[in-house]
Amino acid sequence: MRIETKYFADDDTEFESEEECRAYEQFQKDCMGAVAIFDDDMNYMDSPTLEEIESYAFYIFIRSGAKAESLFSWLKEQISFDDDGIKYPLVAGELYAFSADNGKWYDMDEQLASLAANVERMKRLGAEQ
């Protein structure tokens, strides 16, 4: 009878070797610290699993650009993480929001600036009428 050993990371991801498991946990610690992830209700997701990121990540705040790029690259390999709309190189302080309507990410600063410009335009046009 052969006994098979499996290793589980803190988020219950399964590995065949202890080395893979430790490397994964270190990667998660390093790279997940590069971003803050929030769900669609703007609740902070502390140490989300891959499945939670795939299903519930709607806002991503960039803490460290280079590490976040590594994280996004890895997420694309692991899950169906589509970074359409995210601009590289990433810069600390950027906030992205996901649109479930079209599956794209949007830079919130750009969206807010566009919205503010549209509001001012409508006020100006409304005052002229």
Distances (CA, A) of 89 to 24, 37, 65, 112, 120: 24, 19, 7, 21, 31
In this prediction, residue 115 carries a pLDDT of 93
Q: Over the stretch 5-43, which tens digit does the pLDDT of each residue have? A: 899 988 788 899 999 899 888 877 777 789 999 999 999
Q: How many helices (H) and strands (E) does the chain have?
A: 4, 6
Phi, psi of 14 (to 5 degrees): -95, 140
Is residue 89 pLDDT above 80, yes or no?
yes
From the list 32, 35, 5, the residue with the least C-alpha distance to 21 is 5
Could you tell me what percent of the chain has a pLDDT over 70? 100
In this prediction, residue 23 carries a pLDDT of 85
Q: Which of 1-10, 19-28, 74-83, 95-104 has the highest mean pLDDT?
A: 95-104
Give the domain ranges of the chain: 35-128
122/24: higher pLDDT:
122
In this prediction, residue 126 carries a pLDDT of 92
Q: How many residues does the chain have?
A: 129
pTM of the model: 0.76
In this prediction, residue 3 carries a pLDDT of 82
In this prediction, residue 27 carries a pLDDT of 79
